Structure 1
Amino acid sequence: MLKPDSLIFDMDGTLWDAVDTYANSWNLTFEKLQIQRIINRNELVGLMGMEGKKLTKVLMPDFDDDKALDVYLDVNETRRQILPTSGGNVYPGVTEGIKRLATKYKVLVLSNCAIGIIPLFIKWAGIEDVVTDYMAYGENNMPKHHNMRLLMDKHQLENPVYIGDTQGDAEQTRMAGIPFIFVSYGFGHTGDFDLKFDDFESLTDYYMSL
């Protein structure tokens, strides 16, 4: 594996845990729309990283596509409203680590989230000045491997790696043709990785040593 020139990070389960806030955004929306449904943390953890279209089918199987999309868009708007105050738990070492890594690599964030969520995370984590770019599924409704290639082309990344926490991340990274780095502390599990780290500090130290 070549020394990378850039690190593309997944967000949820890799850089922070905002599942409680996400669940709250669903429940606030359901309450407003008088939908008799409550989503708890455990239910949502197993779905983290899923593309929006797939997520709505799992969470709202009895709704037609148009109705489910309307609810999903409402949830995302609620989420954008409450994230600045509710936030999430940035994993230990992430804020300091990203700042260190940015002195040596281009740092980017790519997530299957809605538009507007990644910049709220970046501000919450205090890393506005060091992230080169970011991209969300909600910008074009395309899968991660497609958006990885868009970022690679846009920033002329020659040897990027993608860092994530799920089997889906691994699959999408393979489709993009770049190395996959797995962080085991997140929401998912996979045996398909080029490197594995159990905490962000170890990841930071490794890449700073190259």
Structure 2
Amino acid sequence: MGLYLIPGLTAGTQISRTELAGMVGWEGKKVMDTLIPGIATDRQLAIYDKVNERQAQLSQDECLLYDGVKEGLAKLSTQYKLFIVSNCAKGVISRFIDWAGIDDYITDEVAYGINQMPKNYNIKLLVDKYELKRPVYIGDTEGDGKQSRLAGLPFVLVTYGFGTTDDYDLKFDDFTLLTAHFVGL
């Protein structure tokens, strides 16, 4: 387990990989408030930006694309508009799309880092912009489920990701099964 020094804080301020893993999918503001409470918002944002700059420099050799995702997105994109909504920093989604080679399948994306707004807001932005009629939100955490509900969308849980929840409308254990379901509708 590695420990990481957060740039801009006093020496000795460390956050473990385990702590960070439990926060995957959280909005940046919530992460900062949890990890470094009591620090002014502008300082938190500066630290958040610095961490994200460092993250952008890391090698993508350790990135993981789950089995069946690229092929599934290719099939789904022939019948549906596909979007990525994430609580990540600005630029992370586009780097991921480039790395995964899925640009042809994704219609649009919105990250928390673009507007500092929660997923439910960003989901609604895309629903309105593209006049979507019966969208669903696919995610892997309890937070995704909550944001989907706040946006007024059914929540589809994929169980191979970062979290768990019992609050979902549909559940799939792998992307191939998810793809087969939606292509078959």
TM-score (norm 2): 0.91
Matched, 1:209 2:184: yes
Distance 2:89 2:20 in 1: 16
Gaps of 5+ in 1: 1-19
Shift of 1:59: 1.5
Identity over aligned residues, as a percent? 48
Matched, 1:121 2:96: yes
Aligned residues: 185
Please name the residue that 1:39 is paired with: 15
Structure 1 pair 31–151 and aligned structure 2 pair: CA distance change class (3 A): closer
Matched, 1:136 2:98: no
Distance 1:160 1:117 in 2: 24
User: Please, which of 52, 64, 85 is the counterpart of residue 89 of structure 1?
Assistant: 64
Q: Is the 8 A contact 2:86 2:112 kept in 1?
A: yes
Amino acid at match of 2:105: V
Alignment of 1:135-154 (within 5 A): 135-154=110-129
Please name the residue that 1:174 is paired with: 149
Structure with bigger RCO (C-alpha 8 Å, 6+ apart): 1
Greater Cα shift, 74-83 or 48-57: 74-83
Q: Is the 8 A contact 2:140 2:157 kept in 1?
A: yes
TM-score (norm 1): 0.81
Distance 2:27 2:7 in 1: 24
Distance 1:34 1:78 in 2: 18
Matched, 1:163 2:138: yes
Distance 2:182 2:11 in 1: 47
Deviation beyond 4 Å, 4+ runs, structure 1 = 31-34
Shift of 1:178: 1.1
Amino acid at match of 1:38: Q
Amino acid at match of 2:115: N
Distance 2:153 2:6 in 1: 39
Shift of 1:37: 3.2
